[in-house]
Amino acid sequence: MGAYDRPVLDDEIAFAGVAGQAELVRRGGVSAHELVELVLGRIERLDPELNAFGAVYAERALLEAAQADARAKAGEDRPLLGVPVAVKDEIDIAGEITSQGTGAIVTRAPADAEVVRRLRAAGAIVVGKTKMPELGLWPFTESVTWGVTRNPWDPERTPGGSSGGSAAAVAAGMVPTALGADGAGSIRIPAACCGLFGLKPQRDRVPRAPHDSDRMHWVVFGALTRSVRDAGLMLDVLSADTEGFMQAAQRKPERLRIGVAADFPAGARGRLTDDVRAALDETASLLRSLGHTVEERRINTRARDVPVIMGLIFRAVRDLVDAVERPERLERRTRTFARAGALVSDRATDRLLDAERAIVARLIAMFDAHDLLLTPVMAAPAVPAGIMEGRGATVTYLWETGWVPFTILWNITGQPAASIPAGYSREGLPLAVQIVGRPHEERTVLRLAAELEAERPWTDRRPVIA
| E strand residue ranges, 238-301 | 257-260, 293-296
User: Is 162 one of the annotated active-site residues of the chain?
Assistant: yes
| E strand residue ranges, 206-341 | 220-225, 257-260, 293-296
Selecting among 186, 239, 419, 425, the annotated active-site residue is 186
Using the 8-state DSSP alphabet, how is residue 150 labeled?
-
User: Is 186 one of the annotated active-site residues of the chain?
Assistant: yes
What does each C-alpha distance from 295 to 201, 238, 247, 310, 319 come to in angstroms? 25, 34, 29, 31, 41
Is the peptide bond between 210 and the residue preceding it cis, with omega within 30 degrees of 0? yes
Selecting among 31, 88, 163, 239, the annotated active-site residue is 88
Q: Are 413 and 373 in contact (CB under 8 A)?
A: no
Q: Alpha-carbon distance 169 to 119, whole Å?
A: 17
3-state helix, strand, coil in the chain (%, to 5): 45, 15, 40
Q: Alpha-carbon distance 193 to 52, whole Å?
A: 14
Selecting among 31, 143, 162, 227, the annotated active-site residue is 162
Q: Are 54 and 130 in contact (CB under 8 A)?
A: yes
Q: Alpha-carbon distance 437 to 445, whole Å?
A: 6
Sequence-ordered alpha helix ranges (H) in 15-57: 17-26, 32-50
Q: Containing H/E element for 308?
A: helix 305-323
User: Is 88 one of the annotated active-site residues of the chain?
Assistant: yes
In 3D, which of 103, 74, 70, 76 has the Cα closest to residue 89? 103
Report, as residue numbers or ranges, the catalytic residues: 88, 162, 186
